[in-house]
Chain A
């Protein structure tokens, strides 16, 4: 069994230094900020969907 997450939006947040610090995403209808940590299950799923070509992370504003 694996968690199946419905990720509908994804955009990088820029940190105080202007570098990407997290991903602002809508997962299963909820807006969340996801850290760039592969051990985080949401970020792992974002990476998986990006790798599969089903999700694109937009650049930070």
Chain B
């Protein structure tokens, strides 16, 4: 049987990749952020989480125009800027993607007939390192890991994760919460490295999660690059699934949307009315139904935003969320004594430093 035919029997031709933005093409928040490491968070490329604790190591995370030819023109680059060679037991640093349970139902995990999963990715580094990729079942606290090695050239790593029927009654929850986590372990203390790597599915033991890894924070010379990340049902790493940018962006916007900012001045546009002499309530529709009600962040401070109602454009004194929902965002704009009740109004960013972020990430 040819590989193409074999694959056709295992995964759908389109939509088989359970990882979003695996080609590292979408970076709505920023293309590069320096000084990362003090706290976990989403900093640059959509859907890719930096999860870290207790390390003094710091890095710059960038969307970089580099990738294996024909796979992707972009990758994540992690550049160590502060080394941490005194590794306390509880330290860790990971690159991760959290996956909704309802997007993992195809695996049938935790019950009879569970399927294998294959995780593949392209990776390189400034030197030879050993790191760990882990598939973590957060509904049932189980995990399966593989140690992989880097070189200075792009290499595809393939990790066939065994089927896991577990106790036969532990499926992934079919909901919008995190069920699966893909972790790349790049630095860890003995709490996570002190055991034997869990290369078969097992109930979670922290000491068995990152055994054998090197430290990304061993030197400021260290760089780590990754792209073409794919997770699919079956025992074969098929060719990385190419996707139109509009499709990837829409998938990402279920979790994060930015209006204004790099999209341009006047890109964020809300309309509404004044409800008194102090307040305006303005609304815009979500571009796509979000996973959950999103957290709102005003970018650039009020000096980069203006409202208009019955006259010239004016800077407000504050802008906060009122009703931010899955399909619409309503903001409360304040300017004490300066508005006329009942007037129609609009709100917008008056420069690229002003933006409106809506974050429903996992």
Contact = CB atoms under 8 A, between A and B. Distances in A.
Interface of A: 1, 3-6, 13, 15-16, 21-22, 24, 28, 30-37, 39-43
Interface string B239-260: 0000000000000000000000
Interface stretch (B19-27, B104-112, B116-124, B287-295): B287-295
A33 B296 contact: yes
B332 A15 contact: yes
Interface of B: 39-41, 49, 51, 53, 92, 94, 96, 136, 176-177, 181, 183, 275, 279, 281, 291-298, 320-325, 332, 359-362
Contacts of B296: 22, 32-33, 35
Nearest to B360: A40
Given A1-B181, A3-B40, A30-B297, A22 B324 contact: yes
A32 to B, nearest CB: 5
Main secondary structure of the interface of B (DSSP, over half): strand
24 contacts: A1-B51, A1-B181, A3-B40, A3-B41, A3-B49, A6-B39, A13-B332, A16-B275, A16-B322, A21-B332, A22-B296, A22-B322, A28-B41, A31-B297, A31-B298, A32-B295, A32-B296, A33-B297, A34-B295, A35-B325, A40-B293, A40-B360, A41-B361, A43-B295
B51 to A, nearest CB: 5
Contacts of B325: 35
A41 B324 contact: no
B348 to A, nearest CB: 18
Contacts of B294: 35, 40
A28 B39 contact: yes
A50 to B, nearest CB: 17
A40 B292 contact: yes
Contacts of B332: 13, 15-16, 21
A4 B40 contact: yes
A46 B40 CA distance: 16
Contact of B293 (A4, A16, A30, A35): A35
A35 B92 contact: no
A40 B296 CA distance: 11
Q: Which of B177, B291, B293 has the most CB of A within 10 A?
A: B293
Contact of A35 (B177, B275, B295): B295
A43 B293 CA distance: 10
Q: Which 10 A-B pairs have the closest CB atoms?
A: A33-B321, A37-B293, A39-B292, A35-B293, A33-B296, A22-B321, A3-B40, A28-B39, A42-B295, A1-B51
B183 A1 contact: yes
B211 to A, nearest CB: 16
B175 to A, nearest CB: 9
Contact of B323 (A3, A21, A34): A21
Contact of B297 (A1, A22, A32, A37): A32
A21 B136 CA distance: 35
B51 A13 contact: no
Contacts of A21: 321-323, 332
A39 B321 contact: no
B320 A13 contact: yes
Contacts of B53: 4
A35 B320 contact: no
Nearest to B183: A1
B353 to A, nearest CB: 16
